[in-house]
Amino acid sequence: MVASGISREQVLDWLSEVPDPEIPVLTIADLGIVRGVTIDSEVIVELTPTYSGCPATEVIEQSVIDTLHAHGVEHVAIRRVLSPPWTTDWISDEGRDKLKKYGIAPPEQGASKRALLRGNRDIACPRCDSTDTAVVSEFGSTACKASYKCNDCLEPFEYFKCI
């Protein structure tokens, strides 16, 4: 076995340091996209893309391979897991805290799309916690974020959209 002596926990620990290329304050573990690790003659890492067509998917997959190679794992395979589809509810509490500290309003936990489409959202400013905020654009610097402004502190910020 090529991957003998390596534990699943060790691989998960290494993967917990792989940053998201679009929001580098988050790791792929924070995002909850690591769905499984299997160790046999190779290390198989199962990843769920945040959404189909995400431009970061291939970069993340290569980062996982590079990270494991850097730790001496020669044989690595990536398996994309599309079902169940990723949801922002998979973002860890630590990841949500990191987003807020970075200046990005984290997605609401368990928010239904129906409520979001009706406009019933109180997005709190990550700087001052005011919910007196307004959407500037449903499209931010990446497809997963929207642009907002705070009417209290007057600061612009991004909101990580619920999916």
* Residue 78: alpha-carbon gap to chain centroid: 17
Classify residue 67: in a domain, yes or no: yes
Give me the CATH number covering residue 69: 3.30.300.130
Which domain covers residue 111, as residue numbers? 104-160
Same-domain status, 125 and 67: no
- Residue reference for tokens 């499209």: 139
Same domain, 74 and 112: no
Overall domain count for the chain: 2
**Same domain membership, residue 55 and residue 111:** no
What span, in angstroms and rounded, lies between the C-alpha atoms of 40 and 54?
29
Residue 93 in any domain: the answer is: no
56 plus 116 within the same structural domain: no
Assigned domain for 58 exists: yes
Query: Would you write out the chain's pLDDT as a tens digit for each of its 163 residues?
Result: 455 689 999 999 999 999 999 999 999 999 999 999 999 999 999 999 998 888 899 999 999 999 999 999 999 999 999 999 999 999 999 999 999 999 999 998 765 454 455 555 789 999 999 999 999 999 888 888 999 999 999 999 999 988 7
Whether 120 and 60 map to the same domain: the answer is: no
Decide: 158 and 147 in contact? Cβ < 8 Å.
yes
- Are 66 and 16 found together in one domain? yes
